[in-house]
Amino acid sequence: MNNAATESLTLEEVCIRLAGQALLQVNTRIAPGEVLTVMGPSGSGKSTLLAFVAGFLDSAFDAQGQVRLGEQNLLTLPAEQRGIGLLFQDPLLFPHLSVTGNLRFGLPKRTHNKQQQIAQALEQVGLAGFENRDPATLSGGQQARVALMRLLLSQPRAVLLDEPFSKLDTALRQEMRALVFGQLREAGLPTLLVTHDEADAAAAGGPIIALG
Ligand SMILES: Nc1ncnc2c1ncn2[C@@H]1O[C@H](COP(=O)(O)OP(=O)(O)OP(=O)(O)O)[C@@H](O)[C@H]1O
């Protein structure tokens, strides 16, 4: 779609504390196109780590360390300027907007050929001709595909995935893993995946760290 990204996402000596107790420690570098999987029991701090990187960590936590994209320190930037794309278990499409409206929302304001980019994005995920559909009329898998393309059209510099396949049925889950990881690799995006599912980690094909 666009030129592949070339930046690494670096989490250097990250230590997050809650009520005076260390919750998690991470020291890692995610290469362009690589997916780092974070696993761990409920309450071990997986979502907290994503919130820290994305820029919306609750003030109940005390965080130390550095987060860098390429050479840029992300921690001094507000969430909306970090260039981080997020995918959750729910596609979170805007129900009052058509598929096109949702994808337009992802596109940077000054994009030329918006309609053409949207049509190409839909074609890439087997949804050619779905431009005017209402999200409520799409299947779960179709909604997940639109959410993925909205993310990619927003030209993020890194991606965070929080249990992105957990609400899909088994067959669809396998298909979406291949699609999501394939697209992220092709786009060269460093990606942090939080999951409980070892098959997700295997499909991601990258290193795994365990919290807790
Ligand atoms: N806003 C908050 N204020 C205080 N404590 C919080 C807050 N959010 C989460 N916690 C606590 O921080 C710890 C880590 O929570 P977190 O949601 O990161 O875990 P998780 O590994 O993502 O769990 P799960 O797998 O269940 O989603 C938990 O003990 C949780 O109760």
- Percent of the chain topping pLDDT 90: 92
Distance 43 CA to ligand 1 centre (A): 5
138-192 pLDDT tens trace: 999 999 999 999 999 999 999 999 999 998 999 899 999 999 999 999 999 999 9
Instruction: For residue 1, name the pLDDT band (cuts at 50, 70, 90).
Output: low
- Which pLDDT value is given to residue 34? 98
Q: Ligand 1, residues 37, 48, 195: which to mutate, most atoms within 8 A of Cβ?
A: 48
- The fold adopted by the segment(s) 1-83+156-212 is Rossmann fold (3.40.50)
Average pLDDT over every residue of 11-34: 97
Q: Is the ipTM of this complex over 0.90?
A: yes
Question: How is the chain split into domains, by residue range?
Answer: 1-83+156-212, 95-154
Percent of the chain at pLDDT > 70 equals: 99
Pocket lined around ligand 1, Cβ cut-off 6 Å:
18, 23, 40, 42-48, 58, 60
Residue 2 has pLDDT above 80, yes or no: no
pLDDT given for residue 104 in this prediction? 95
**Residue nearest to ligand 1 atom 17, measured at CA:** 47
Q: Ligand 1 centroid to 171 CA: how many Å? A: 30
3-state secondary structure the chain: CCCCCCCCEEEEEEEEEECCEEEEEEEEEECCCCEEEEECCCCCCHHHHHHHHHCCCCCCEEEEEEEEECCEEHHHCCHHHCCEEEECCCCCCCCCCCHHHHHHHHCCCCCCCHHHHHHHHHHHCCCCCCCCCCHHHCCHHHHHHHHHHHHHHCCCCEEEEECCCCCCCHHHHHHHHHHHHHHHHHHCCCEEEECCCHHHHHHHCCCEEECC
Whole-number Å distance, alpha carbon 47 to ligand 1 midpoint, is 7
Rounded distance from Cα 25 to ligand 1 centre (Å): 15
pLDDT of res. 4: 84
